[in-house]
């Protein structure tokens, strides 16, 4: 049988670590995920010094990914205390020096953190992965499930970062779904791994789009990128490296063939980074390149028609300026709403500005997550993120990223301001 991925769980003796090491040398696999199960939730160290040495010397150098939680990272590093995201970054780097290709330090136990923050390090770049912290007793087995889910996504062909992001989203959604289930009498209960099978359409919605991906939504404009002498793919790559969390190709004046080729190139980059890629207006192009979804406006193809063409797995965003449009978008099977122009913009002609009040009204009427758009940049993004409605998940930006000389620098700057603003909101 051909094995695509091996994932390890608790390894209770040095003998077993050695057998595993020998077998993996004899029968190499395309990917090895090591979940270094060493510390129980109650804090007991489950692995003695000899097993620890086995992990460090034999397994970690072979691993494509190791997934310690904070306590396990601390044990691997000889007992150093990890109390902040910055400590987690340093730990990820030190563990990476032990040999694994990628490290995911899980911050679920991080004190004083409102989000569940994990730090991913691939030897070159760090990624902070945020998800909401779900208040529930049913957290038993989350680490094991996360590593298993990553392994499964890798076996399906995902890149490492993309697999990690998908797995984290699966855990967040499963925990939210299982929040109030009561099974057993322990302090912790298990969560429901099968929620996807039970919850019909609404879980599909949660599944297609991770609302946190709307945080910094980069929308391209070929005119702007041409003006600055770069390809669409180069612009997309730089924006992702700067922190963009989702991309939309909005190529109003591109020939269909040219658009399709650019979309394919961008999709490759996006998949590598685990960032969704949507196509503006053109359902045909989205289908032809197998993009992650589309964004449509009130005068484009209706969202319910787009849904029937694209099927249940693709993301659909709809532009809405009014509560009625927001309600219709939900009925039509959309996944998120783009609402604006919040401020005046030169990027879209004759676009009515709705202001912060209009944005708030749409958010309050929407069952879907919302991304704000229109005239947004570093000088006003804080005011947008601070309007105080929980379903406003981020900002979509064209000129502040792409009508600039250096997309990477501008995206980094905007990302930093958004992160600061969202931490203040919480
Ligand atoms: C995220 C996001 N929100 C709104 C829009 C605007 O879409 P639409 O109203 O269809 O206008 P065009 O972009 O097609 O000119 C968007 N593109 N993205
Ligand atoms: C496409 C779109 N829809 C509403 S405003 C807008 C343009 C946003 O561009 P910019 O970020 O340059 O103002
Ligand atoms: Mg449109």
Ligand 1 pocket check for 295: Cβ under 6 Å? yes
Delimiting residues of CATH 3.40.1190.20 domain(s) in the chain? 5-202
Average pLDDT over residues 19-28: 95
Ligand 1 pocket check for 217: Cβ under 6 Å? yes
Distances from the Cα of 345 to the Cαs of 220, 354, 366, in angstroms? 15, 11, 24
Residue 43 burial by CB count (10 A; 0-12/13-18/19+): exposed, middle or buried? Answer: exposed
Closest atom of ligand 1 to 348 CA is 15
What pTM was estimated for this model as a whole?
0.72
Residue 208's pLDDT band (cuts 50, 70, 90): confident
CB-CB contact of 339 with 295 (8 Å): no
Tell me which of 141, 223, 358, 377 is the catalytic residue.
Answer: 141
- Buried b / exposed e across 265-296, counting CB within 10 Å, b at 16+? bbbebbbebbbbbbbbbbbebbeebebbbbbb
Q: Which CATH class is domain 208-425?
A: alpha beta
Q: Is 143 an active-site residue?
A: yes
Of 139-153, 193-207, 309-323, the poorest mean pLDDT is in 193-207
Mean of the per-residue pLDDT values of the chain: 91
Decide if pLDDT at 255 tops 80. yes
Q: Which ligand approaches the C-alpha of residue 402 most closely?
A: 2
- pLDDT per residue as tens digits for the range 218-235: 999 989 999 999 999 999
Pick the residue whose CA is nearest to atom 8 on ligand 2: 374
Rounded Cα distance, 98 and 69, in Å: 16
ipTM: 0.99
Q: Is 141 an active-site residue?
A: yes
Tell me which of 7, 106, 237, 321 is the catalytic residue.
Answer: 106
- pLDDT per residue as tens digits for the range 155-166: 988 899 989 998
Decide if pLDDT at 82 tops 90. yes
Tell me which of 18, 41, 136, 139 is the catalytic residue.
Answer: 139
Stronger pLDDT, 295 or 188, i.e. the higher one: 295
Ligand 1 pocket check for 297: Cβ under 6 Å? yes
Q: Is 106 an active-site residue?
A: yes
Q: Which ligand approaches the C-alpha of residue 248 most closely?
A: 1
- Distance from residue 321's CA to the centre of ligand 2 (Å): 13
- pLDDT per residue as tens digits for the range 407-425: 999 999 999 999 988 865 5
Nearest to 306 by CA among 284, 330, 276: 284
Delimiting residues of CATH 3.20.20.70 domain(s) in the chain? 208-425
Q: How many beta carbons lie within 10 A of that of residue 93, not counting itself?
A: 15
- Buried b / exposed e across 102-137, counting CB within 10 Å, b at 16+? bbbbbbbebeeeebbbbbbbbeeeebebbbebbebb
Q: Is 142 an active-site residue?
A: yes
Domain 5-202, what architecture?
3-Layer(aba) Sandwich (3.40)
Average pLDDT over residues 262-274: 94
Decide if pLDDT at 396 tops 80. yes
Sheet holding 5-8, edge to edge: 5-8, 31-34, 65-66, 102-106, 115-121, 126-132
- Distance from residue 110's CA to the centre of ligand 2 (Å): 38
């Amino acid at each position: 049988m051909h094995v695509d991925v091996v994932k390890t769980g608790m390894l209770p003796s040095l003998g077993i670590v050695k057998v595993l090491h020998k077998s993996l040398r004899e029968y190499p696999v395309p990917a090895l995920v090591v979940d270094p199960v060493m510390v129980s939730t109650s804090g007991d160290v489950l692995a003695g010094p000899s097993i620890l040495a086995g992990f460090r010397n034999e397994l970690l150098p072979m691993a494509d990914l190791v997934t310690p939680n904070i306590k396990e990272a601390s044990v691997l590093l000889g007992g150093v205390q990890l109390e902040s995201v910055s400590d987690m970054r340093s730990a990820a780097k030190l563990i990476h020096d032990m040999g694994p290709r990628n490290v995911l330090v899980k911050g679920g136990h991080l004190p004083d953190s409102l989000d569940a923050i994990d730090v991913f390090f691939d030897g070159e770049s760090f990624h902070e992965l945020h998800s909401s912290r779900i208040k529930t007793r049913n957290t038993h087995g989350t680490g094991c499930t996360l590593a298993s889910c990553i392994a499964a996504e890798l076996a399906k062909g995902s890149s490492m970062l993309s697999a990690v992001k998908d797995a984290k989203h699966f855990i967040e959604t499963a925990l939210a779904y299982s929040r109030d289930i009561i099974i057993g009498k322990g302090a912790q209960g298990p969560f429901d791994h099968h929620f996807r099978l039970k919850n019909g359409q609404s879980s599909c919605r949660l599944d297609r789009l991770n609302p946190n991906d709307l945080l910094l939504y980069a929308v391209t404009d070929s005119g702007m990128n041409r003006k600055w002498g770069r390809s669409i793919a180069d612009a997309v790559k730089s924006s992702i490296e700067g922190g963009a969390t989702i991309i939309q190709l909005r190529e109003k004046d591109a020939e269909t063939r040219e658009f399709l080729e650019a979309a394919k190139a961008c999709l490759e980059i996006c998949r590598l980074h685990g960032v969704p890629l949507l196509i503006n207006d053109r359902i045909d192009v989205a289908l032809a390149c197998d993009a992650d979804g589309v964004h449509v406006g009130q005068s484009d193809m209706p969202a319910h028609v787009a849904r029937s063409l694209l099927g249940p797995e693709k993301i659909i965003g709809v532009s809405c300026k009014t509560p009625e449009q927001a309600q219709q978008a939900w009925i039509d099977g959309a996944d998120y709403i783009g609402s604006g122009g919040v401020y005046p913009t030169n990027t879209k002609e004759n676009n009515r500005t709705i202001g912060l009040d209009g944005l708030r009204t749409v958010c309050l009427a929407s069952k879907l997550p919302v991304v704000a758009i229109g005239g947004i940049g570093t000088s006003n993004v804080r005011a947008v993120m601070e309007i105080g409605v929980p379903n406003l998940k981020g900002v979509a930006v064209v000129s502040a990223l792409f009508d600039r000389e250096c997309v990477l620098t501008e995206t980094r700057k905007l990302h930093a301001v958004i992160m600061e603003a969202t931490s203040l909101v919480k």
